[in-house]
Amino acid sequence: MAVERIGDSLREESGIEREVVQSAGVALLIVGFDPLKNGDNITDPLIWTITELQDKPETQKRAGDTSIPSETRKQNETRTQNILGALAEFCDEGCVGGLSRHLFFAPGSYKDEAISINGNLVDIGVLVYDGPLDVFFNPQNCEEVSGNGWQKRSVIEQGENIRSVLRLALEEDKKEGLTRKALETYYANSGIQIVPEGFSIRNYYQARESRKDLTLKKG
């Protein structure tokens, strides 16, 4: 099953076992693959953006900001489970079924504790979407965010009211080449299916909401 293989794939990259350092959440750069753009997919990728609907100072959210799906990690939650939780800010129950064959995780494009948001450590993960780009995704978590659509990275960088998690994720992407690595993995047919067949984002989201967030001990 795909959701059980991601951690193994990440460990296989280095060839050694290492203790996984937990983080307090994940932010997702979801890249839309455009078969007509060829090189532009890597040089100026399409990234799915959302709009924040609520203020939340502790995570530097402001209503109206352009952002990306992100989610605090729950206690005893794996990296993969955290990613699936963040998808509630990307798609709802009506569209998640079509994602099982169109949304891929790329080993090598995930970075632990890549950025810090108001003292909270956040991983960055890249997913590649190769389905129709004219489909508009409404989030399951519609009280906190709304869909904003695909935007080129260069357009996002020039925009105003960009949430810090998105701005920092793009800076880290440019430094580390995370979206480039993800697309190269996709081209090599090495991406991992992230959404299991029959997955219910509604049920998953509701179950997660009753669990406590992970808190990290500092020092």
Residue 85 backbone dihedrals phi, psi, to 5 degrees: -65, -40
pLDDT of residue 82: 95
The predicted structure's pLDDT at residue 218? 54
pLDDT at 11 over 50: no
Q: What is the pLDDT of residue 188?
A: 94
Q: What is the pLDDT of residue 120?
A: 84
Judged against a pLDDT cut of 80, whether residue 8 lies above it is answered with: no
Choosing among 3.60.40.10, 1.10.3720.10, 3.40.1440.60, 3.90.79.10, the CATH entry for 2-207 is: 3.90.79.10
Q: How much is the pTM? A: 0.87
Indicate the domain borders of the chain.
Answer: 2-207
Distances (CA, A) of 57 to 16, 28, 60, 61, 80: 39, 20, 5, 6, 27
